[in-house]
Amino acid sequence: MSKLSQEYKWAKYEIMKSYYQSLNEYERDKFRELNAAIKIQKNVRKLLCRKRFILLKEVALEIQKNLKGYLARESHWKSVNFLSNDMNNQFFAYHATIIKKHWLGYRCRRNKLDYKERKRYLEIIKRKNEESLAQLQEYALAVQYETDRKKEEEERKYFNHVASNLHHLVSTKSIPGVYNPRYVSEESKPQVFNADVETHLKAIFKSNLKAKGK
């Protein structure tokens, strides 16, 4: 009886020892198994989400491709129709303008205009234009003549003023002047106002002498 009691105690001890050992192992491995389960769950969810994303992306690309193709075809046909309509409108507008021009000319010639009266009126206008043009040309010539006269008069005054102080350049009986070279022809001598400078200087010198004598 005592041997059976000892075996029972020993068996109970072994059972309790095995139970606590298993409990300790469970506590020790619980967090590692939990982390492993979370990682597996994360990877599975990631895989499922990626598959769903790829599927949605492919579907979106297909829809986008079809929509862009549809819009491009619509735009192309609209542009073609617009060009066609525009060309037709231009064509009809041009011919409508031609028809309108001929019709208005016909109606005007038939109802409003007299050919002979119109011709006489145009001749009168032409004659008046010629008279006005002739008057304008005469006025322009008169203005140009007056402008040239005033300009020549101012240039003569300036020349006379400058030449009045150049009497020492006039030729003498023995020495030719600066503006009267001895070996130069009459055509090659310097000229001012259709006469050579020497003649102008002599005339100005004589007029100055007369003015001083008075």
pLDDT tens for each residue of 82-137 = 888 888 888 888 999 999 988 888 887 777 666 777 788 889 999 999 999 999 99
Taking the C-alpha atoms of residue 39 and residue 21, their distance in angstroms, rounded to an integer, is: 27
Element (H, E) at 97: helix 2-111
Three-state DSSP class for 9? helix
Local confidence band at 51 (pLDDT 50, 70, 90 cut-offs): very high
Does the predicted model carry a pTM greater than 0.75? no
- The tokens describing 44, both together, are 């599975």
Residue pair 199/180 in contact (Cβ under 8 Å)? The answer is no
- Centroid of chain to Cα 198: 63
Amino acid found at 12: K
pLDDT tens-digit readout, 174-210: 566 555 656 566 665 656 665 666 666 666 666 666 6
Tell me the pLDDT of the chain averaged across its residues.
77
Mean pLDDT across 46-50: 91
